Amino acid sequence: MNSQLVRLNKFLAERLGVSRREADRLISDGKITINGQTANVGDKVKILNGGSQQSDYIDKGDKVCYNGKTVPEKADYIYLAFHKPVGYVCSRHAQGDTPTLYEILPKEYYQLKTVGRLDKDSSGLILLTNDGDFAFSMTHPKFRKNKVYEVELDKPLAPLHQQMISDHGIKLEDGISCFKIIKQNDYALPLSKGVRRLASRGLAPAARGDGSAGRAPRKMVMHNHYLVILQEGRNRQIRRTFAALGYKVTKLHRTGFGKYELGDLKPGKYVIIKP
């Protein structure tokens, strides 16, 4: 069984459900010991690799304690897909009068951290976990994970502007922003199914109860709805990109992140997923 040295703050973050910065604070405050000795920031512990992260454990010669209590040897990783409603922040602490999404989740998941963020005015798919390696693999640019958003603008996007964003990118204060845009308009769907489905999503009026549902398909024109496919994850990047060209995002809803999709998950609900 192979062993490896792991930074103490990483070990604590995974076992205690805190950030690495918070773990360093615990170490600095003298609350962590290794084999009875007060730990220092930057210390490492040796773990034995049993073939999967879930079965990793500390070498018998090491014993890590927090406030005198032994830190669990096994890391029980949890992965959630959550439908964040509009009006909540992806933070552990409320921002003014704005609540945090942790107020919706059961208490047993409070230790989980969000994988990336959605701003207060955005909704859709958020992943949460206590597995730092998983979070890194989902968010670091080198892994190029696609994130898919439904975007509504305050006015139709000019073809030239769409081409500028998709082909060349827009210069923002933190660099060039470039992403793929797919226009979502000119729907031609039967009223018996298509319009009702669109209405359930808030994208079209509901079908009338006057027999029109059985008539020929009717074209629905929606000139300001788009799909955005993004591989980066900078703060409010989509909103800032459109704003740089004179547009306001009136709706931002994430439906996909890597291999994970929101599907029919209702706002405020969550499901356990596999990495």
User: Using CA of residue 115, residue 120, residue 122, residue 125, what is the dihedral sign?
Assistant: positive
* Spatial distance between the Cα atoms of 150 and 226, rounded to a whole number of angstroms: 6
User: Using CA of residue 159, residue 160, residue 162, residue 168, what is the dihedral sign?
Assistant: positive
For residue 172 the two structure tokens come to 């923002």
Same domain membership, residue 150 and residue 110: no
**How distant, in Å, are the alpha carbons of 6, 18, 114 from that of 111?**
21, 7, 10
8-17, 136-145, 197-206, 237-246: range with highest mean pLDDT: 237-246
Q: Does residue 131 surpass a pLDDT of 70?
A: yes
For residue 208 the two structure tokens come to 């009338």
Look at 28-32, 60-64, 236-240 and tell me which has the smallest mean pLDDT. Answer: 60-64
Same domain membership, residue 126 and residue 212: no
In a domain, 176, yes or no: yes
Q: How much is the pLDDT for 4?
A: 74
Task: For 1-35, give one letter per residue: b (16+ CB within 10 A) or e.
Answer: eeeeeebbbebbbbbbebebeebbebbeeeebbbe
Q: How much is the pLDDT for 186?
A: 45
Q: What is the CATH number of the domain that holds 25?
A: 3.10.290.10
* Spatial distance between the Cα atoms of 57 and 46, rounded to a whole number of angstroms: 9
Rg for the chain, CA atoms, rounded: 23
Count of domains observed in the chain: 3
> What pTM did the predictor assign?
0.72
- Domain span holding position 26: 3-70
Same domain membership, residue 108 and residue 175: no
Same domain membership, residue 153 and residue 114: no
Q: What is the CATH number of the domain that holds 128?
A: 3.30.70.580
Q: How far is CA 85 from the centre of its chain?
A: 13
Q: Does residue 206 surpass a pLDDT of 50?
A: no
Kind and range of the H or E run holding 1? none
How many CA within 13 A on the CB side of residue 46?
8
Tell me the angle at which helices 8-16 and 20-28 cross, rounded to the nearest 10 degrees. Answer: 110
**What percent of the chain has pLDDT above 90?**
58
**How distant, in Å, are the alpha carbons of 113, 175, 191, 195, 226 from that of 131?**
9, 29, 46, 42, 33
DSSP tag of 93:
S
Q: How much is the pLDDT for 133?
A: 82
Q: What is the mean pLDDT of the chain?
A: 83
Mean pLDDT over 95-102 rounds to 91
Q: Does residue 236 surpass a pLDDT of 80?
A: yes
Q: Residue 20: pLDDT band by 50, 70, 90 thresholds?
A: confident
Look at 45-49, 55-59, 131-135 and tell me which has the smallest mean pLDDT. Answer: 55-59
* Spatial distance between the Cα atoms of 53 and 63, rounded to a whole number of angstroms: 19
Q: How much is the pLDDT for 16?
A: 81
Q: Are strands 123-129 and 113-115 parallel, antiparallel or unpaired?
A: antiparallel
